[in-house]
Amino acid sequence: MQTVPLAQVLAFVLGPVVLSFLIWVLHHFHVDGERFRTSQYHQNEATTENDHIPERTSYSYPGRTAVVTLAILFTSLAASAQSNSADDPPKAANAVDLEKKVEDLQNELDQLKKQLLELHKAHTRTSPITQETTTSATLEQPKPAIDTVPKSSLSLPLGATVNVILDGYYEYNTNHPAGRVNSLRAYDVLSNAFSLNQAGVIFELPTAPEEGRRFGGRVDLQFGQATATLQGNPANENRPDIYRNVFQAYGRYVAPLGKGLTVDFGKWASSLGYEANYTKDQLNYTRSFYFYFLPFYHMGLRANYQLNDKVAFNYWLTNGTQQTEPFNSFKDEMFGLNLTPTKAINWTVNYYLGQEHPDVATSSNCGTAPLQPGLCFTPIADPQNGKTHIFDTYASWQVTPKFLLGGEADYVIQRQWANAAPGKSSAPSHTDGGAVYASYQLTPSSSLAARTEYLSDRGGLFSGTTQALKEVTTTYTHHFGDGFQAMLEYRRDWSNQAFFPRGTAGAHVNHQDTATLGLVWWYGGKKGAW
């Protein structure tokens, strides 16, 4: 009986054990290195906001190399022992077993090499903590890469923010109208003048149901020319002055029903129509005819229920169209549906029912009763009771990350009397038409947008004259940095009637051309559209 060499015994008996131990050491080299790098990252993050994760230290990779070298050594020893004993007849019976053990060791070595290769790749890969989060296509105007919220913004506890905006312009009107007044313009009301469109301050406390905070609120204070357009029209408001600078003021509660039933109480900007108030979030500087025609704000209750990620319902119960204090007892209603079939498409459908005829008139003959100024009224005998119906729909399609398409269609009908009678006409006045929008992101800091619209004003609900209005607008926007943008715009309005004033002699023509430079500054912690 022949003695088995000691090297062979050590190779076959201790080889797998040592190899397993080396794999365990390799694993802990990786885990401890990751813990070390993570702790280093958080320490560095506390001192500077722009540092990247430190490079992986050099001790781990040579350590892994040494482990692999030792593993190969033991494998070679086993193979050598098998080779030396291949010619020994007493050991020939064990050749199959030795071959199997060597094969097992080789498989373990291959696995070890694979693990080392994966760890080496991880060494050169960027940590997930520093990778940018990509967002899906939004339904707003494509934003430049530099448009981010500054970390030093006016943020308060519980995620509350204070935000400010300044919006001004200079405009030139080729008609040179008397008093430099532009016709049918909501915000850019003056020409050949440096003008302050609006200065605003916005305070917002967002809700956070996932954190247990179901209440919130918002207040928007507004000053400048736009204030006179949006707020306090004596035709709608009995006491316009006391609410003139309060653009929005509402409280919010999210009821724990399904995905959350959001209920607001107060005064809020109307979401009828494609366009909104704050210029920084718009494709064009000037506003469309439909923005000027449709309601600006409402006072009352509104609710939103998100059925799922694709369907949401809206309901409003309000004092009326642009009525902070009502001038009749009728309560207007709005029923809305919002659809998001894909992340790139958003479609809104609204129906609004109102009664925009007062049942009282202001008076100064209320005796000596202690009343607030403006609360002296005289009832109107047999007031008009005709209804206003607004059918409004608009949609956005983010065709590509750089290219956006949008569209709006509206049909508005209003009657003086609900039912015809002698001296009471129920003949309707109609305003209908639509607008098309397009925007393309030229560079990360600039974009080009266009709008065209058609408004048929039968009965003069909008302009006071029965006419067909059209306009086309082209706007170039450049972002100089987060919080400052300039908008250069050309717009042409025209009609089938000689409606637009020209010169100071009282002449009227069927068109109006303007060139505008708009400048907008903003600052605050509120993300997204304001």
> What's the rounded Cα separation, in Å, for the pair 62 and 56?
12
pLDDT computed for residue 170 by the predictor: 98
Domain for residue 355, yes or no?
Answer: yes
**Neighbouring residues of 12: CB distance < 8 A, sequence distance ≥ 6:** 78, 81, 98, 101
Model's pTM, two decimal places? 0.71
* Amino acid identity, position 169: Y
pLDDT in tens, the chain (530 residues): 444 454 454 555 555 555 555 555 444 444 444 444 444 444 444 444 444 333 434 334 444 444 444 444 444 444 444 444 444 444 444 666 766 776 777 777 777 777 766 665 554 443 333 333 333 333 444 544 444 444 455 668 889 999 999 999 999 999 999 999 999 999 999 999 999 999 999 999 999 999 999 999 999 999 999 998 888 777 788 888 889 899 999 999 999 999 899 999 999 999 999 999 999 999 999 999 999 999 999 999 999 999 999 999 999 999 999 999 999 999 999 999 999 999 999 999 999 999 999 999 988 888 887 888 889 999 999 999 999 999 999 999 999 999 999 999 999 999 999 998 898 988 999 999 999 999 999 999 999 999 999 999 999 999 999 999 999 999 999 999 999 999 999 999 999 999 999 998 889 999 999 999 999 999 999 988 99
Classify residue 210: in a domain, yes or no. yes
Residue 154's pLDDT is 63
**Could you tell me which residues come within 8 angstroms of residue 243 by beta carbon, excluding any fewer than 6 positions away?**
231, 232, 237, 267, 324, 325
Residue 34 lies in a domain: no
In a domain, 402, yes or no: yes
Measured CA to CA, the distance from residue 207 to residue 217 in angstroms comes to: 8
State residue 62's pLDDT score.
45
Q: Does 102 map to a domain?
A: no
For residue 66, CA distances in Å to 8, 22, 36, 58, 338 come to 23, 10, 21, 13, 63
Residue 78, domain member (yes or no): no
Can you give the pLDDT at residue 118?
Answer: 67
Residue 444's closest CA among 477, 421, 422? Answer: 477
Domain membership of residue 516 (yes or no) is yes
Please report whether residue 496 resides in a domain: yes
- Give the Cα separation of 46 and 427 in Å (integer): 71
**Domains in the chain, number:** 1
CA distances from 12 to 84, 99, 101, 102, 504 (A): 14, 11, 8, 9, 109
Q: What are phi and psi of 105, to 5 degrees?
A: -65, -40
Question: What pLDDT is recorded for position 155?
Answer: 65
Question: Which residues face 436 on adjacent strands?
Answer: 407, 452
Owning domain of residue 314: 161-364+374-524
Q: Which CATH number fits the domain that encloses residue 187? A: 2.40.160.10
Tell me if residue 144 falls in helix, strand or coil. coil
Q: Are 408 and 435 in contact (CB under 8 A)?
A: yes
Record the tokens describing residue 235, joined without a space.
Answer: 């035709």
